[in-house]
Structure 1
Amino acid sequence: MTYKLGILDQSPISPGKTAGDALRRTVELVQKAEEWGYERFWVSEHHQTLDLAGTSPEVLVSHLLAKTTSIKVGSGGVMLQHYSPFKVVEDFQLLSLLFPGRVELGIGKAPGGFSLATQALRYGGAGSDVKFDERFRTLHHFIHDTMPEDHELYGAEALPKPDEKVPVFLLGASANSAKLAAEQGANFVYAHFLNSNNDFLKEAIQQYREIYPEGKFIVAVASFAAETQTAAEQEASDYKIYKIFTESGRSMSVRTLDQVEAFREQTDETITEIKEQEVEMIAGSPDFVKNEFDKLASAFGVEEFIIHTPILDEEKRLKSYELLSQLAVPVLGK
């Protein structure tokens, strides 16, 4: 089987390198991804972290579009809880006018950073009490000109408008998120790399298909390929995450012990537990990875994957994406 494949790049800052280095590697990767036949390339949003350089997807997306010619480029995703839906739609519609048919708007529900960064993002802003689901519905209304007459924002228009509607993708790891996307006629990306329990994936895709059978349902997986199974497994085994649990019931994952300490310093919340976990990653030779993708595709009717590779060795990470491109459906014109 072959699939449409995409890349989710977080612009990781490798040891001894700078944020500028990481962003230059992102540019290099998107250009290689276009050459290798990937369908889409998305960049993420994270705040006040020392090991990821991507803070503003809309800015980085515009730069990557200018550095490529055909690959679709988007956000994976804009953390809508911090922003005005109106402004987000304006930004991405303008990008779509500049680069027709190549812009995708992925929306995330997470804060993308610690509580102090969240406070800073919302400081001085209006409408911060509007819940995420309502923000997402409002964004959908602005894109599709469907604002109800009884809505307080009826009559407001996000201009200028491109000839084609900007494709919207909701990112999530639950059936509730899939249901919200389906109800709005939006595409959905299941974050398998955050929740690899296939029972949750099954429930999410069932919810989505019951409401919106014609929608695009993509699975985002953590995956790493090397020339041999042994080499891939050895590399992947070196990567851990630390899950922080707080007294309030909140939890979040970070990549280093330094980030655990940063969390302690930036929040008043009491940490009740810290768990070290191996990163859930499909790691192996290209044949092994293909077999695992085939299993997911067959079990859940998935035709598209977005690959996230949390490997800090820059050359091994780049080589992995090259090897995994063998699984992709050939893109016309490549």
Structure 2
Amino acid sequence: MGYALSLLDKSPIQDGETASTALKRTIELARLAEQWGFHRFWVAEHHDTPALASSSPEVLIAFLLANTTRIRVGSGGVMLQHYSPYKVAENFNLLAALGPDRVDLGVGKAPGGLPYSTRALQGVIPRSEKQDFAAQLAQLGAFLAKGLPESDPLAGVRATPLPTVAAHRFLLGASVDSAELAAAQGWDFVFASHLNGDETVLQQTLDAYRKKAPDRSPLLAVGIVAAETDAEAERLVGNIQHFKVHVENGQSVTVGSVEQAEEYARQAGATNYRIEKKTPNVLRGSAHTVTDQLERLHSRYGIGEFIIDTPINDAAKRLRSIELLAQAQFAAAA
């Protein structure tokens, strides 16, 4: 088998349980992922979301490093627009010092929440005074590397501690623009096909990245639901809903319900908006069926690593889905 598998976890909170229970499940899943042979274990960032416990990936990564020994651990991803690049660099330099050569920094451009949580995170800084995302990414990369250029007013400031091996850097995106930005600034790139399943866009994006970064290999994030049978997997996927809310003169976002979409529009102060029901882009079926689909993507697009998101609401069935996939990966490798 010519590709690696990694996991993305959002610490979902089941009905009637606490965040502590959900986080304990994340820790146990990371241990199992290491035991089963997954390459990386990433945690997401979501704000003001009662059904998810993963609001601060940096804190969770530290705990996961302490509870595993070999698997790479990282963010999928830090929502950079909300933060000082310097502070993000400090956080991940510290994590990289705690877990030498095991830490990944995945950065995303999405808000990770609704407009009010974005306002709470970013404070009262006028939008006109904020750096754009490309400038933030460049500054973050500089702080993680040799520091800012001498012409910068902050030249000489270092993001300490300085780890022996820096965090591995990834930009998460689903467009040609994101891929070209990653290539131009020397970041590895993850195409989020679980958010944008258009294979024409996928091909264009991968081509653009490889043209500008021929020595780097893009990763592919995919939604996967594996079950004992194809029919059971189809039933599980039938319970998944995605809705994209398009706001006039604003950022389009994907949420999990019509109510969330309407709340996004309300918080954004939008009177002109459109809610679009999206068909979930999920590879589904028995483990054999899913591995065949992964093999197709590997062969057609030259993907060497998949980041797996498993959007099943039932905790036991979600764990079983990941276990079935691991068993199929092991059997194929053997």
Query: Residue 201 of structure 1 corresponds to which residue in structure 2?
Result: 202
Paired position in structure 2 for 1:269: 270
In the alignment, which residue of structure 2 is the partner of 1:309? Answer: 310
SS at match of 2:223: strand
**Corresponding residue SS for 1:189:** strand
> Quick check: 156-165 or 319-328, which moved more?
319-328
What's the secondary structure of 1:224's corresponding residue? strand
1:31 alignment counterpart: 31
Question: RMSD of the alignment, in Å?
Answer: 1.8
Aligned to 1:57: 57
Name the CA distance, whole Å, in 1 between partners of 2:205 and 2:320: 32
Q: Are 2:147 and 1:133 equivalent residues in the alignment? A: no
SS in 1 for 2:47: coil
Structure 1 residue 266: deviation in Å? Answer: 2.8
Unaligned runs of 5+ in 2: none
Q: Give the Cα separation in 1 of the matches to 2:25 and 2:290.
A: 24
Q: Distance in 2 between matches of 1:327 and 1:229?
A: 15
TM-score (norm 1): 0.94
Q: CA deviation at 1:2?
A: 4.5
Q: Is the 8 A contact 2:217 2:303 kept in 1?
A: no
Letter of the aligned partner of 1:49 in structure 2?
A: T
Q: Which residue number corresponds to residue 110 of structure 2?
A: 110
User: 2:97 maps to which residue?
Assistant: 97
C-alpha separation in 2, matches of 1:157 and 1:146: 6
C-alpha contact (below 8 Å) 1:3/1:329 kept by paired residues: no
Deviates more, 1:321-330 or 1:135-144: 321-330
Q: Find the aligned partners of 1:292 and 1:133 in 2 and give their Cα distance.
A: 34
Secondary structure of the 2:90 match is: helix
Superposed displacement of residue 264, structure 1: 4.7
Give me the TM-score of the superposition, normalised by structure 2.
0.94
The answer on whether the counterparts of 1:172 and 1:188 sit within 8 Å (CA) in structure 2 is yes
Shift of 1:234: 1.0
Listed as ranges, the gaps of 5+ residues in structure 1 are none
Aligned to 1:222: 223
Q: Once the two structures are superposed, what CA deviation does each residue of 1:298-329 show, in whole Å capped at 9, x if it has no partner?
A: 11111100000111010110011111113547
What letter matches 2:223 in structure 1?
A: A
Q: Deviations over 1:104-125 (max 9, x none)?
A: 1000111111111111001156
Match of 1:143 in 2: 144
Deviation at 1:280?
A: 1.2
CA-CA distance at 1:249 after TM superposition: 4.8
What is the correspondence of 1:243-258 to structure 2 with a 5 Å cutoff? Answer: 243-258=244-259
SS in 1 for 2:177: helix
- Tell me which residue corresponds to 1:74: 74
Residue 26 of structure 2 aligns with an amino acid whose one-letter code is T
Moved more, 309-318 or 12-21: 12-21
Tell me by how many angstroms 1:66 deviates.
Answer: 0.9
Whole-angstrom distance in 2 between the partners of 1:125 and 1:247: 23
How far apart in 1 are the matches of 2:302 and 2:166? Answer: 26
Alignment of 1:161-176 (within 5 A): 161-176=162-177
What is the aligned length?
330
Provide the C-alpha distance between the structure 2 equivalents of 1:152 and 1:199, rounded to a whole number of angstroms: 43
Please name the residue that 1:236 is paired with.
Answer: 237
SS state of the match for residue 296, structure 1? helix
C-alpha displacement at 1:267, in angstroms?
A: 3.1
The 8 Å contact of residues 248 and 269 in structure 1, kept in 2 or not, is answered as no
**C-alpha separation between the residues in 1 aligned to 2:242 and 2:101?**
37
Aligned counterpart, 1:40: 40
Offset at residue 248 of structure 1 (A)? 2.7
Show structure 1 runs of 4+ deviating over 3 A.
124-128, 326-330
Structure-1 separation of matches of 2:167 and 2:68 = 19
Report if aligned partners of 1:185, 1:215 keep a CA contact under 8 Å in 2: no
Q: CA deviation at 1:259?
A: 2.1
